[in-house]
Structure 1
Amino acid sequence: MHAWEAIQKSIDYIESNLTEEVSIEKLAEMAGLSPFYFQRLFSRLVQKPVFEYVKLRRLAQAVSDLKTNNTRILDTAMDYGFSSHANFTRAFKEVYGITPDKYRTTDIQLNQFVKPDLMLNYVMVDENVPLVTDGIVLEVTRKKLDKPRTFIGIAKEIPLSELMGGTNTGVSFAAKLWDEFHEVKAKIPYLLANGNKLGALYMGGAKKDHCTYLAGAEVEYGSVIEGYTVFELPDSDYLVCGFEAVNFEELTNSAVYKAQTFMERWMKEHKLSTTDFAVEMYYPVTDGRAYMEHWVQPVPIKE
């Protein structure tokens, strides 16, 4: 068994037992390592100490429960191993910047520390070969866009830390921007009936440690609408990472992070870089299948 496989086994066990007591000794035995070496290897591969990781994953599940269940906050706290409402609130605010009470009564969306899939750091596939991993399907292909496409929406600066989805926690600025876009989408003229929604990342004069993010949808080519930002996807060759998940929530949370992680490594392995923008192409959810694509313009790295 590879070292990453041993640690992944413990990660899977933790995920299945978030409401149970988890001991280092049990996890180390499962991985076939001493407690000392297990903790060192876990921290190295997951980038978090074991119990910090357990806390983050328990809080991630608690976030879901707070919005979907009608149980008291204290009950949720006790379910995930917190000794009191106060301790839970303190941990929640430290990680997300808001209290569980405020979160439960607002439409705020939060970035989570995603359960890692270590296989994505070690397994490589060729173009046009699907990779099935932890409930999602990834595939890298090439696409040629013969004609430019126009997208219109709302653009704002977001922290570069937002691009660390899956490892960065806190309020999701991108999700908030999408909420703002959906509130006005019906008022935007020239929208294509079968057009895609698109998230675009580019600098656009953003200040230090920030980038510009556009949440928008496709309109008739060349359209310009006062009060909205236009993004034109140029006719070019693109490297595309398509991925699907069991639902839209899974797609836009853990799946998008895993796809990003894999794509970065895939491009590095193939000695490719990219230009100054990247886009997220969204497709309608059909037959229980949620699907989206990351598009970049590949640029060979000169050695």
Structure 2
Amino acid sequence: MHAWEAIQKSVDYIENHLTEDIPIDKLAETASLSPFYFQRLFSRLVKKPVCEYIKLRKLAQAADDLKTKNTRIIDTAVNYGFSSHANFTRAFKEVYGITPDEYRTSDVHLNQFVKPELILNYVMVDENVPLVTDGIVLEVTRRQLATPRTFIGIEKEIPIKELIGGTETSISYAAKLWNEFHEIKPKIPHLIEHGNEFGALYIGNAKEGYCTYMAGAEVEYRTAAEGYSTFELPAAEYIVCGFEAESFEELTNSAVYKAQTFMERWMKKHKLAATDFAGEMYYPTDGCAYLEHWMRPVTTD
């Protein structure tokens, strides 16, 4: 068994026992490692100390319960091992910058520390070959866009670290922007029926540590609308990473992070780098949720 497989077993164990006390000795036993070596290897591969990771995953699941279950905050706190309402509130606010009560009564989305799928750091597939892992399916293709496409929406500067995703915890400003966009979308002229929604990420004139992010929808080519931002996706060759998940929530949280993790390695393996632009192409679906990351590749040789 590879070292990463041993740690993945412990990660899976944690996820299945979030409402229980999780001793490090038990995790080390699950991974067939000594407690000392287990903790060192876990921190190296997961990028967090064991106890901190457990706390972050407990808080992530507790946050989900706050929105999906009609239970008292104190009951949620106790269920995930917090000794009191005050202790839970303090930990929640330290991680997300918002209290559990504020979160439950608001429409904000949170960026979570995602349960890692460590195989994505080691496996490699060719173009046009699907990779199936932990509830998501992803596939990398090259796509030649013959004619430009136009998208109209609203844009804001957003911290780059938020859009990297998966390892940062905070209120999601990108999700907030999408909520605002969906409120004004019906007012946008010349929308293409059943057209794609599109998230455009580029540096532009954003201040250091930030990027410009536009949430928009496809309109007739070269349409402009006063009071809105316009983005034209130029005719060019793109590397496209398409991935699907069981739900839209899963797609825009852990699946995005896992796809990004895989694509970083895939691009390096193929001696490619991305420009300062990336796009998120959203597709309307009746079943599994589906999203594509679009990147303009440049060779690194």
TM over 0.5: yes
What is aligned with 2:167? 167
Residue matched to 2:282: 282
Corresponding position of 1:23: 23
Q: CA–CA distance in 2 between the matches of 1:204 and 1:215?
A: 15
2-side partners of 1:109 and 1:24: how far apart? 31
CA contact (8 A) 2:156 2:213 kept: yes
CA distance in 2 between partners of 1:265 and 1:156 (Å): 29
Q: Report 1:127-166 matches (<5 A).
A: 127-166=127-166
2:126 and 2:201 map into 1 onto residues whose CA distance is 26
- 1:30 deviates by 1.1
Is 2:66 the counterpart of 1:66?
A: yes
Report if the CA contact (8 A) 1:241-1:259 is conserved.
yes
Residue ranges of structure 1 left out of the alignment (5+ in a row) = none
Aligned partners of 1:85 and 1:261: how far apart in 2? 36
**In structure 2, what is the Cα distance between the partners aligned to 1:82 and 1:221?**
54
**Cα offset, 1:275, TM superposition:** 1.7
Secondary structure, in 3 states, of the residue corresponding to 2:273? strand
Match of 1:99 in 2: 99
Q: Secondary structure at the match of 2:146?
A: coil
**How far off its partner does 1:274 sit?**
1.6
Q: The residue matched to 1:195 in structure 2 has which SS?
A: coil
Q: SS of 1:201's equivalent?
A: strand
Whether the 8 Å contact between 2:240 and 2:295 is mirrored in structure 1 is yes
The aligned amino acid for 1:137 is V
Show the 5 A alignment for 1:253-264.
Answer: 253-264=253-264
| Structure 2: tracts of 5 or more residues without a match | none
Partners of 2:178 and 2:259 lie apart in 1 by 20
Q: Does 1:209 align with 2:201?
A: no
Alpha-carbon separation, structure 1, partners of 2:55 and 2:259: 24
Deviations 1:191-246 (A, max 9, x none): 00021000010012001110000000000000010000000000001100000000
What RMSD over aligned residues (CA atoms) do the two structures have, in Å?
Answer: 0.6
CA positional deviation for 1:282? 0.2
The DSSP-based 3-state class of the residue aligned with 2:195 is: coil
| Distance in structure 1 (CA, Å) of the matches to 2:275 and 2:123 | 26
What secondary structure, in the 3-state scheme, does the structure 1 residue paired with 2:27 have?
helix
Normalised by the length of structure 2, the TM-score is: 0.99
The list of structure 1 runs, each at least 4 consecutive aligned residues, that deviate by more than 2 angstroms after superposition, is none
Distance 1:298 1:42 in 2: 33
Q: Indicate the residue corresponding to 1:196 in structure 2.
A: 196
Q: How many residues align?
A: 301
Structure 2 residue aligned with 1:110: 110
Q: CA deviation at 1:164?
A: 2.7
Q: Can you list the C-alpha shifts for 1:137-157, whole angstroms capped at 9, x where unaligned?
A: 010011110000000000100
1:19-42 deviation digits (Å, cap 9, x = unpaired): 011111111011111000000000
**Which deviates more from structure 2 when the two are superposed, residues 159-168 or residues 106-115?**
159-168
Deviation at 1:260, TM superposition (A): 0.8
CA distance in 2, matches of 1:97, 1:222: 41
Preserved contact between residue 243 and residue 259 of structure 1 (Cα < 8 Å): yes
TM-score if structure 1 supplies the norm length? Answer: 0.98
The residue number in structure 2 matching 1:32 is 32
Q: Which whole-Å CA distance do the structure 2 matches of 1:83 and 1:285 have between them?
A: 43
Conserved? CA contact 1:248–1:285, under 8 Å: no
Contact 2:164 2:260 (C-alpha < 8 Å) held by counterparts? no
* Amino acid paired to 1:283: Y
Q: Which residue is 2:290 aligned to?
A: 291
Identity %: 74
Native 8 Å contact 1:10 1:30 kept in 2: yes
Q: In the alignment, is the contact (CA less than 8 A) between 1:97 and 1:171 conserved in 2? A: yes
Matches within 5 A, 1:232-243: 232-243=232-243
> In the aligned structure 1, how far is the partner of 2:84 from the partner of 2:91?
11
The CA distance in 2 between the partners of 1:76 and 1:174, in whole Å, is 27
> CA separation in 1, counterparts of 2:139 and 2:170?
29
Q: In structure 1, what is the Cα distance between the partners aligned to 2:199 and 2:299?
A: 24
Segment of structure 1 superposing worse, 90-99 or 273-282: 273-282
Q: Aligned to 1:175, what secondary structure does the other structure show?
A: helix
Instruction: Say which SS state the counterpart of residue 208 (structure 1) adopts.
Output: coil
d(CA) in 2 for partners of 1:163 and 1:216? 16
Q: CA deviation at 1:251?
A: 0.4
Counterparts of 1:61 and 1:102 in 2: how far apart (Å)?
17
- In structure 2, the residue corresponding to 1:276 is in which secondary structure? strand
